[in-house]
Structure 1
């Protein structure tokens, strides 16, 4: 079977521009009753007179928009007698359609295995809207790709309960597995917000058992049940101050400051990266790059430092430097039999 050739880019964008122009023309007329001259409409739409006439014809013939020529005002206006019509369905501009294309692909990566019926239904609607704008469904699926890495699977039922309870502003009883210790605890929490971080879902919540804010990995919640009690509401400023101060997913105060020096071979990449909102960086004369950032719990920061091996050196604090050095020595010991010293 011969494959149908893909639409040329200029044809696709021409269709989207036409769609956008018709929508904008309708907006110009629906925002007021005064007559508009052809010249002023051309200026607003940035098109030729022939293109304007085609757009007016589309509004009249395809959508039944009551546009009339007002000979006295020498312009076009909506008929004040005829009932005003709305364009069918949801209409978007060309830029908004391109944003929908990105959103459609993000949905494919963010909701893998979670709320599949709802995600598929929404994705189908987005594809329909894109098709209206001249974007072929197959092209929309292939043009952008999201590659999740290191994501852990969540129970779809638990995920839906967490989302519903958070949106409803209710407390929730959970059974939670702490992977660091292997211990399971039962506690009541007041969900505040869901966070997508490094391809995994987390729940920021007030823990009534601990009497403090905590972040829970949703994939580590083994059971969840909403209660009838309203959740304790924590101001967003307080949430941001607690969860955003330290490094990575570990919340709490950022009591320490790490100073990292990267080799020139990695400097350009690191200088363009955002490790923390409050980071500070500077170039050294020999091409190396020095990065300074706050942290509290060092576990995630250590893992990120170890990714760079010999291309980064921890200068401060002494405790962080010693811990990274110990990890590197332990890793090298695994290869001692191969003559690695």
Structure 2
């Protein structure tokens, strides 16, 4: 029984006791030494301000006049929960390149203090928790906070947006629906008021964000999923086609365990290769992920996607023929 469990068990014993509980019984109930019982009683009384009365001869109980008003304060964690919190704390501290460092500083400090208190002065080997971000893009913390506030506060949002493909800058007014963390980067799904349609915007391409007074238009979840989550990757739109990709036996060991899409269909072929089928709207991201596997992946269908892959590979080869 760890300290968290002992303190909770001790609290329950004393709260339920009509008469003082002897130290011997507490030792038996808590499964610990006499010295540990006294340390836990002292912490309960002095650290948590519990109304503990009694002594080592007669036993201990809660003061009847204060019993009903006392409960264990704050957040208590057992060892497994503490370890999970430690991992989450490191994820918060090390991922995102400092994103929300100002806004989350109080939470970060509280987590660190909680870990220190619960560890009883023990130094946790935080270097054992390793977090590696995969190519996150630079993000303006203020912009992110405005966007997130508009999403959660259900307010309209205005911002400048610079398209990555054309570098064209436009002013947008939207009703934000959801904020999405995808491949270590943030996107906001929104109803574009001027274009009267659903769009996804990369938050790192947003500037001069301003939350407006008007209430955001709410779109049904089913409609959002149909338009924004029915096709492969972050690109929006209903599926225009299904891709069939066959992976080599070596790559199959990885791909068979991966979730590329909620509607994907996969099966092992008799020769050990793995066939994956999934819907897509925009081929750009899908091609990028397929080509990541190099010669271990082959597009079977549709022919247009196969030809696009062949053209991209030919262009890549041409870079090495000079």
TM range (shorter): 0.7 to 0.9
**Which residue number corresponds to residue 148 of structure 1?**
133
Q: Is the 8 A contact 1:279 1:291 kept in 2?
A: yes
**CA distances 1:40-97 after superposition (whole Å, capped 9, x unpaired):** 9899x7735859845456434543423579xxxxx98644322533445432232322
- Residues 138/197 of structure 1: CA separation in 2 closer, same or farther (3 Å cut): farther
**CA distances 1:94-137 after superposition (whole Å, capped 9, x unpaired):** 23222221221121244433332222322111011011121768
**Residues 296-315 of structure 1: pairs in structure 2 closer than 5 A:** 296-315=281-300
Question: Whole-Å Cα distance in 2 between the matches of residues 46 and 314 of structure 1?
Answer: 63
User: Aligned match of 1:332 in 298, 317, 320?
Assistant: 317
- Residues 98/193 of structure 1: CA separation in 2 closer, same or farther (3 Å cut): same
Question: Whole-Å Cα distance in 1 between the matches of residues 12 and 176 of structure 2?
Answer: 41
**Which residue number corresponds to residue 199 of structure 1?**
184
User: Aligned match of 2:66 in 82, 86, 101?
Assistant: 82
Q: Is the 8 A contact 1:130 1:136 kept in 2?
A: no
Q: Is the 8 A contact 1:170 1:229 kept in 2?
A: yes
Question: Whole-Å Cα distance in 1 between the matches of residues 11 and 227 of structure 2?
Answer: 48
Q: Secondary structure at the match of 2:98?
A: coil
Q: Does 1:278 align with 2:263?
A: yes
Question: Whole-Å Cα distance in 2 between the matches of residues 137 and 217 of structure 1?
Answer: 42
Question: Whole-Å Cα distance in 1 between the matches of residues 93 and 285 of structure 2?
Answer: 27
**Which residue number corresponds to residue 197 of structure 2?**
212
Q: Secondary structure at the match of 1:112?
A: helix
Question: Whole-Å Cα distance in 2 between the matches of residues 34 and 211 of structure 1?
Answer: 69
**What TM-score, normalized by structure 2, do the two folds share?**
0.85
Question: Whole-Å Cα distance in 2 between the matches of residues 87 and 22 of structure 1?
Answer: 9
Question: Whole-Å Cα distance in 1 between the matches of residues 257 and 77 of structure 2?
Answer: 34
User: Aligned match of 2:217 in 222, 225, 232?
Assistant: 232
Q: Secondary structure at the match of 2:166?
A: coil
Q: Is the 8 A contact 2:10 2:30 kept in 1?
A: no
**Which residue number corresponds to residue 293 of structure 1?**
278
**Which residue number corresponds to residue 104 of structure 2?**
119
**Residues 1-341 of structure 1: pairs in structure 2 closer than 5 A:** 17-26=2-11, 47=31, 53-54=37-38, 55-56=40-41, 58-60=43-45, 62-66=47-51, 78-83=62-67, 84-134=69-119, 139=124, 141-337=126-322
**What TM-score, normalized by structure 1, do the two folds share?**
0.81
Question: Whole-Å Cα distance in 2 between the matches of residues 275 and 36 of structure 1?
Answer: 61
Q: Tell me how far 1:164 sits from its aligned partner.
A: 2.1
Question: Whole-Å Cα distance in 2 between the matches of residues 272 and 36 of structure 1?
Answer: 58
Q: Tell me how far 1:321 sits from its aligned partner.
A: 0.8
Q: Secondary structure at the match of 1:116?
A: coil
Give the unaligned 5+ runs of structure 1. Answer: 1-13, 70-74
Q: Is the 8 A contact 2:248 2:296 kept in 1?
A: yes
Question: Whole-Å Cα distance in 2 between the matches of residues 324 and 305 of structure 1?
Answer: 9
Aligned Cα root-mean-square deviation (Å): 3.1
Question: Whole-Å Cα distance in 2 between the matches of residues 51 and 277 of structure 1?
Answer: 56
Q: Is the 8 A contact 2:9 2:30 kept in 1?
A: no
